[in-house]
């Protein structure tokens, strides 16, 4: 190094220093520092500062530099073990220029550094750090890297589950520096980068599901949920079914089918997400989900036949659906001995929709007598088997007495043509389907056990009232109009909700490429409810005859209040 003082150059090592005392300046140059100009207040002190500076630079040049992975893949951070970390800024002439990782903070840290490409000769320039050392920086960085790596490995797991799983054994002072709120966007973005592209066709989605096993397996990895694609172009369905749930359900006597339009994905283009569930010990068990391209009878037949091939032992005694003809025909073709049953809620919804379409909404809303007549009509399916026509005729007589027959004539014609004659008593009647679970509940109560589901006191009182009325009608102790008038009060809340709700076609989301679904008659409409909406439909009674004299003197309407209470909770 050479040191120059008063125009003379002294050999002091590997550093060349030129001292200009008249200007109070020292110019240093070596392979570590490029053109660094230092100013002094006192020319006489120049030599002293030169040697101090040379000692400082020589000490920094001998500092060990370590590199650690950065947050982004392929990035690196450098540190000397003192708690200060540096980013690589640029490289030039065999030297690497660094800056403090907090250079973008407020206030910005001014410290810069330079070193050789072999990480030797590390020298700090630009002043001092305006922050203290971060002794947890590396642990925080490792936690962030571990979270992102877990997202790369598990792109289909919820980020909050990944976060809590990774942070379980990390010290609290480290996890407090990396909150879920701050790291979530990076985790979601990382997962999206490692997922397959969203397919836009049914064939593409089928290929993705067949290729990526993790997408179709259960959470414990023991059951393959995706069963394949059924049907031809225009009538295809993607079926998801749990074989172990079907096996665990035992002898399945009851099936309930329903669809939702809101839960379907934007891609591929589909018409509905169809759900099949059963009931065991008063609990709903989802069996299968199908993303359907069409609601045609061909699509339903292909889907049900595909399910029968996968689960040959599936042969239910009862099948409850809404009143879509295509679905009902497909059910009867696939399960010839099954007994079809309608849904009271779908019936009530379709009736209220027809009231709107006929322009009777204001009349029913403002006229208490008209409201009572409509409420009586909603209770028709609760009439004893074989007496639906009698119930409708009793309502017609009551409407004439209230001078409302002419105003509601089109509505009565709709009930007669669409429901009594069109759908038929066999499917529309629901009284005999509300006994089985009630009978089991009574059996549990008789032996001192509570029913397997929580029941409200109001529900129990309503059930008792409806059961009493049912017995009186079957024993000819109450006329049919009195029965309808009594039980219809339990439908008042449902009627209010449905008349208040918008039920027009434009409320349904349009298909992504096909536009709005075509308008069809009310009896063919699917209810816009999800799988949970079926939880109160666990009720069937195996009655061999429709003759009233052969019916057992049993409690027939135990589930009615639960059904309507659940629907009131779901409606806005």
The model's pLDDT over 488-512, given as tens digits with 9 standing for 90+, comes to 776 676 677 666 665 444 344 434 3
Q: Is 314 exposed, middle or buried (0-12, 13-18, 19+ CB in 10 A)?
A: buried
Q: Note whether residue 211 is domain-resident.
A: yes
Q: Are residues 416 and 372 in the same domain?
A: yes
460: three-class secondary structure by DSSP: helix
pLDDT at 163: 94
Q: Which residue has the higher pLDDT, 482 or 571?
A: 482
pLDDT tens per residue, range 307-364: 999 988 888 888 888 777 888 889 989 998 888 877 777 778 888 888 888 888 889 8
pLDDT at 549: 33
Asked if residue 112 has pLDDT above 60, the reply is yes
Q: Note whether residue 381 is domain-resident.
A: yes
Asked whether the beta carbons of 63 and 80 are under 8 A apart, the reply is yes
Q: Are residues 296 and 394 in the same domain?
A: no
pLDDT tens per residue, range 130-146: 788 878 888 888 898 89
Q: How confident is the model at residue 40 (pLDDT cuts 50, 70, 90)?
A: very low
Which structural domain, as residue segments, surrounds residue 10? Answer: 2-61
Mean pLDDT score, 480-489? 76
Q: Note whether residue 521 is domain-resident.
A: yes
Pairing of strands 272-280, 254-260: antiparallel
Q: 258: closest CA among 238, 287, 217?
A: 287
Q: If you count them, how many residues does the chain have?
A: 572
Q: Are residues 260 and 359 in the same domain?
A: no
Q: Are residues 80 and 8 in the same domain?
A: no
Cβ contacts of residue 15 below 8 Å, gap of 6+?
1, 2, 28, 29, 30, 33, 54, 57, 58
**C-alpha dihedral (482, 483, 488, 490), degrees to nearest 10:** 120
pLDDT-wise least confident of 175-179, 307-311, 334-338, 415-419: 415-419
Q: Using CA atoms, how far apart are residues 267 and 250, in angstroms rounded to an integer?
A: 35
Q: Note whether residue 131 is domain-resident.
A: no
Range from 88-102, 180-194, 469-483 that averages highest in pLDDT: 180-194
148: three-class secondary structure by DSSP: helix
Q: Are residues 153 and 245 in the same domain?
A: no
pLDDT at 302: 94
Q: Using CA atoms, how far apart are residues 351 and 374, in angstroms rounded to an integer?
A: 9
Q: Are residues 513 and 412 in the same domain?
A: yes
- What is the number of structural domains in the chain? 5
Q: Note whether residue 132 is domain-resident.
A: no
Q: Are residues 322 and 360 in the same domain?
A: no
Q: Note whether residue 301 is domain-resident.
A: yes
Q: Is 460 exposed, middle or buried (0-12, 13-18, 19+ CB in 10 A)?
A: middle
Q: Note whether residue 222 is domain-resident.
A: yes
pLDDT tens per residue, range 276-319: 988 776 667 788 899 999 989 999 999 999 999 998 888 888 88
pLDDT at 458: 59
Q: How confident is the model at residue 164 (pLDDT cuts 50, 70, 90)?
A: very high
SS3 content of the chain, % helix, strand, coil (to 5): 45, 15, 40
Q: Which residue has the higher pLDDT, 407 or 468?
A: 407
pLDDT at 187: 93
pLDDT at 274: 92
Q: Are residues 362 and 330 in the same domain?
A: no
Q: How confident is the model at residue 121 (pLDDT cuts 50, 70, 90)?
A: confident
pLDDT at 299: 93
Cβ contacts of residue 52 below 8 Å, gap of 6+?
none
Q: Using CA atoms, how far apart are residues 302 and 232, in angstroms rounded to an integer?
A: 9
Q: Are residues 507 and 426 in the same domain?
A: yes
pLDDT at 449: 57
Tell me what the pLDDT averaged over the chain comes to.
Answer: 71
Ordered alpha helix ranges (H), 415-474:
425-428, 436-446, 457-474
Q: Which residue has the higher pLDDT, 447 or 474?
A: 474
Q: Using CA atoms, how far apart are residues 67 and 250, in angstroms rounded to an integer?
A: 61
Q: Are residues 301 and 224 in the same domain?
A: yes
pLDDT-wise least confident of 255-264, 426-435, 446-455: 426-435
Q: Using CA atoms, how far apart are residues 225 and 91, in angstroms rounded to an integer?
A: 54
Q: Are residues 482 and 419 in the same domain?
A: yes
Q: Are residues 184 and 206 in the same domain?
A: no
Q: What is the CATH number of the domain that holds 293?
A: 3.30.420
Asked whether the beta carbons of 77 and 85 are under 8 A apart, the reply is yes
Task: Give the pTM.
Answer: 0.51
Q: Using CA atoms, how far apart are residues 206 and 233, in angstroms rounded to an integer?
A: 13
Among residues 61, 80, 103, the one where a domain terminates is 61
Q: Which residue has the higher pLDDT, 46 or 528?
A: 46
DSSP conformation letters of 398-413? HHHHTT-TTTTHHHHH
- Name the token pair of 373: 């007549």
Q: Note whether residue 34 is domain-resident.
A: yes
């Amino acid at each position: 190094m050479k040191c120059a003082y008063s125009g003379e150059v002294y050999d002091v090592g590997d550093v060349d220093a030129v001292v200009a005392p008249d200007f109070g300046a020292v110019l240093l140059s070596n392979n570590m520092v490029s053109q660094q100009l230092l100013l002094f207040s006192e020319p006489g002190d120049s030599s002293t500062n030169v040697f101090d500076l040379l000692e400082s630079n020589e000490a920094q040049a001998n500092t060990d530099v370590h590199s650690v992975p950065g947050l982004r893949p392929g990035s690196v951070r450098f540190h000397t073990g003192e708690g200060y970390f540096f980013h690589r800024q640029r490289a030039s002439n065999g030297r690497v220029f660094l800056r403090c990782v907090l250079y973008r903070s407020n206030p910005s840290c001014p410290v810069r550094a330079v070193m050789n490409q072999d990480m030797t000769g590390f020298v700090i320039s630009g002043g001092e750090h305006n922050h203290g050392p971060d002794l947890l920086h590396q642990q925080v960085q490792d936690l962030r890297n571990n979270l992102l790596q877990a997202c790369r490995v598990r792109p289909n797991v919820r980020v909050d589950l990944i976060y809590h799983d990774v942070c379980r054994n990390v010290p609290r002072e480290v996890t407090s520096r990396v909150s879920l709120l701050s790291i979530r966007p990076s985790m979601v973005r990382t997962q999206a980068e490692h997922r397959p592209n969203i397919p836009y066709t049914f064939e593409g989605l089928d290929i993705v599901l067949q290729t990526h096993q993790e997408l179709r397996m259960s959470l414990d990895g023991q059951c393959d949920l995706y069963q394949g694609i059924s049907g031809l172009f225009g009538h295809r369905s993607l079926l998801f079914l749990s074989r172990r749930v079907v096996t665990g359900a035992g002898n399945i006597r009851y099936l309930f089918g329903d669809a939702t339009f809101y839960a379907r994905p934007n891609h591929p283009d589909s018409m509905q997400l169809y759900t099949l569930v059963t009931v065991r010990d008063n609990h709903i068990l989802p069996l299968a989900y199908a993303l359907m391209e069409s609601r045609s009878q061909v699509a339903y037949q292909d889907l049900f036949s595909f399910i029968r091939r996968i689960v040959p032992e599936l042969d239910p005694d009862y099948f409850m659906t809404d009143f879509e003809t295509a679905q009902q025909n497909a059910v009867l073709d696939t399960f010839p001995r099954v007994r079809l049953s309608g849904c009271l809620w779908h019936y009530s919804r379709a009736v209220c929709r027809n009231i709107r379409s006929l322009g009777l909404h204001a009349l029913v809303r403002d006229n208490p007598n008209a409201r009572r007549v409509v409420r009586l009509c909603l209770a028709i399916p609760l009439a004893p088997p074989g007496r639906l026509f009698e119930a409708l005729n009793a309502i017609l007589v009551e409407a004439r007495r209230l001078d409302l027959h002419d105003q509601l004539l089109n509505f009565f014609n709709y009930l007669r043509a669409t429901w009594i004659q069109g759908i038929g008593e066999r499917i529309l009647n629901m009284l005999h389907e509300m006994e089985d679970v009630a009978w089991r509940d009574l059996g549990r109560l008789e032996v001192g056990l509570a029913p397997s589901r929580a029941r409200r006191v109001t529900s129990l009182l309503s059930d008792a009232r409806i059961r009493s009325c049912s017995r009186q009608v079957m024993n000819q102790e109450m006329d049919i109009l009195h029965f309808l008038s009594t039980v219809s009060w339990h439908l008042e809340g449902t009627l209010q909700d449905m008349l208040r709700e918008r039920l027009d076609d434009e409320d349904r989301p349009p298909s992504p490429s096909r536009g709005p679904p075509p308008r069809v008659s009310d009896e063919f409409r699917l209810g816009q409810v999800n799988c949970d909406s079926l939880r109160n439909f666990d009720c069937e009674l195996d009655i061999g005859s429709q003759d009233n004299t052969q019916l057992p003197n049993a409690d027939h309407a135990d589930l009615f209040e639960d059904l309507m209470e659940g629907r009131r909770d779901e409606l806005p």
